Structure 1
Amino acid sequence: MSWLTSAPPVLVWERHRSTTPTMFRRFLAGVLAALFALSTAHAAPSAPMRVGVEKLDYYPFYASDGKRYWGYARDLMDAYAAARGQRFHYEPLPVAELFRLFLGSDRLDFKFPDNPRWSEADKTGKTVRYSQPVGVLTEGLVVRRAGLGQPLSRLRTVGIVKGFMPSSIARALRRGEISLVESPSLDALFQQLAIGRLDAVYVELQVARQRLAFLKLDKQLAPDPTLPADRHELRLSSRLHPERIADFDRFLVDDAERVRELKRRYGLL
């Protein structure tokens, strides 16, 4: 009886003595590994990738006041970056300057929006990779309501954002029948049109309706559906990261429902 009462405690104690150090070492190793991974992540965060964007109010597609950037395009690119554990830094620039910087330096990782047909001569000899389309602009002419329905031949001066080129009236421009008045400010062009200094403004038609309502000029000015218009597909582009553009295209397919929801939210469907 004395053997039965004394032996079990010894056996139980020996079992804990033999396993406790092993369990503790495993626990300690796990804690140290987690701390190392956490410290590494905080010590070396990935640098944000730079996206050159237009300093222009083209809401709902995109808008910028020179510091902030918002709208459909921002939400779409942020969704892609978040899905890939990446960060984007947006650099709003005037349209013409954005083209020069994107094509003439390595400062920008991406450009948005872009299109293979834009500034084709400046892209000669340069390799630019484009994403699949993420939206479509319909750019036409806004006129004074009193002049709605008049033929293109009645127009003499057309206001345009500096850096844009209206393909739909290119023939009239080559013939000298129409002259362009450039400005970095779309609002300034609308104001000049309202007081009669311009005959029309070339702009995206959905953008025009929203902007004219905001400026309280929608009773005086309106898009003219009888005049020529251009259709432009919006794409993300890069000279430096073709592999990222291919990955962005995969995101557009894999997360197609999220993309559609963003378009619905901004009234682009």
Structure 2
Amino acid sequence: MKQLATLLCLCMISVASASTKEKTTYTVGAQDIAYLPHYDFDNEVERGAIWRLLELYAADRQIEFEYVALPIKRLHKALLAGSIDFVFPDNPKWFNQQFKGVKKHYSNAFYEVLGASFVHTSDYNLRIDDVERLSVPSGFSPVFWQSRIDRGDIMLLETTDAVAALRLVVSKRAQVTDLEYSVVEWHKKNHPDFTDIRMSPFLPHDVVAFHLTTVHFPELLADLDAFLLENATLLKQLKQQYGIIDARKQARLIFKMQ
């Protein structure tokens, strides 16, 4: 009986191991927000540069990514629970209180983006002590504003998406919105009423990177890193196609002009 039990146990381990090796479909949890040109995984027409890049990688490696759009505040809970395999976008600078004691693995940066403060042209000379109302898409982490929000110096106005955050600035219900430079430029091309919105050189900004993260599949991230390195030219072409700026170069240019 002992030998039979041992044999059954070994068979179960063997089956589980084979199942893990044969895994070819992975679930990517993505923010349920339109953040073009970078991503909009729910969009049936245009899903953005990151989606195209992930799909090219998946095709090359003969795997499949399934995309699940979730509210930002639920993404990491789903990753911890194992209901999704990866989260995008992610960054070590963002709030990760849920991962205390749990190792979260990051891919290398897909590319850097310029997070900045955008104002109406009439408010161009605003300084940080003048700001009382800030708009952001719900769930975003306005890191450089957080201490002032916590003290009650600034009212945080959360919106459904980037367009709604920009509209609050146009209507003067918010003085500032904290968004990404290429995202704002994308929407300015498609919304004439956003023409008078500008990045402020006097208010917080930061260059951050977009990463893919996981708890259970660091080996796939390592392989993705190798793919990104091998296909640097492809990534450059995608950025040009989607009008994604060089974040550090643009930041230097803006602050030289102030």
> TM-score when scaled to structure 2?
0.79
Q: Which segments of 5 or more consecutive residues in structure 1 lack a partner in the other structure?
A: 1-44
Q: What is the match of residue 137 of structure 2?
A: 161
The whole-number CA distance in structure 2 between the counterparts of 1:58 and 1:48 is 25
Q: What is the match of residue 148 of structure 2?
A: 172
Say if 1:190 and 1:114 are closer, same or farther in 2 by CA, change over 3 A: same
Aligned length: 224
Say if 1:257 and 1:220 are closer, same or farther in 2 by CA, change over 3 A: closer
Confirm whether residue 80 of structure 1 aligns to residue 53 of structure 2: no
The whole-number CA distance in structure 2 between the counterparts of 1:48 and 1:68 is 23
> 2:27 is paired with a residue of what secondary structure?
strand
> 2:134 is paired with a residue of what secondary structure?
strand
Q: Which segments of 5 or more consecutive residues in structure 2 lack a partner in the other structure?
A: 1-21, 247-258
Matches within 5 A, 1:70-149: 70-103=47-80, 105-149=81-125
Matches within 5 A, 1:56-67: 56-65=33-42
Runs of 4+ in 1 over 3 A off after TM superposition: 64-69
The Cα shift of 1:86 comes to: 0.6
Matches within 5 A, 1:33-52: 47-52=24-29
The whole-number CA distance in structure 2 between the counterparts of 1:69 and 1:121 is 33
Point out the structure with max Rg over C-alpha: 1
> 2:243 is paired with a residue of what secondary structure?
coil
> 1:261 is paired with a residue of what secondary structure?
helix
Deviation string for 1:136-160 (max 9, x for gaps)?
1211112121111221111101011
CA contact under 8 A between 1:109 and 1:240: conserved in structure 2? yes
The whole-number CA distance in structure 1 between the counterparts of 2:45 and 2:101 is 33
- 1:214 counterpart letter in structure 2: N
Q: What is the match of residue 24 of structure 1?
A: none
Structural RMSD (CA): 2.1
Say if 1:75 and 1:131 are closer, same or farther in 2 by CA, change over 3 A: same
> 2:114 is paired with a residue of what secondary structure?
strand
The Cα shift of 1:99 comes to: 2.6
Using the TM superposition, name which of 139-148 and 205-214 deviates more: 205-214
- 2:145 counterpart letter in structure 1: I
The whole-number CA distance in structure 1 between the counterparts of 2:182 and 2:231 is 26
CA contact under 8 A between 1:66 and 1:92: conserved in structure 2? no
The whole-number CA distance in structure 1 between the counterparts of 2:91 and 2:126 is 31
CA contact under 8 A between 1:141 and 1:228: conserved in structure 2? yes
Deviation string for 1:83-116 (max 9, x for gaps)?
111111111222222232223x111111111112
- 2:52 counterpart letter in structure 1: D
Deviation string for 1:6-42 (max 9, x for gaps)?
xxxxxxxxxxxxxxxxxxxxxxxxxxxxxxxxxxxxx
The whole-number CA distance in structure 2 between the counterparts of 1:190 and 1:245 is 34
CA contact under 8 A between 1:143 and 1:201: conserved in structure 2? yes
The whole-number CA distance in structure 2 between the counterparts of 1:69 and 1:113 is 17
CA contact under 8 A between 2:94 and 2:143: conserved in structure 1? no
The whole-number CA distance in structure 2 between the counterparts of 1:119 and 1:98 is 12
The whole-number CA distance in structure 1 between the counterparts of 2:119 and 2:113 is 18
> TM-score when scaled to structure 1?
0.76
- 1:242 counterpart letter in structure 2: P
The Cα shift of 1:125 comes to: 1.2
The whole-number CA distance in structure 1 between the counterparts of 2:33 and 2:175 is 22
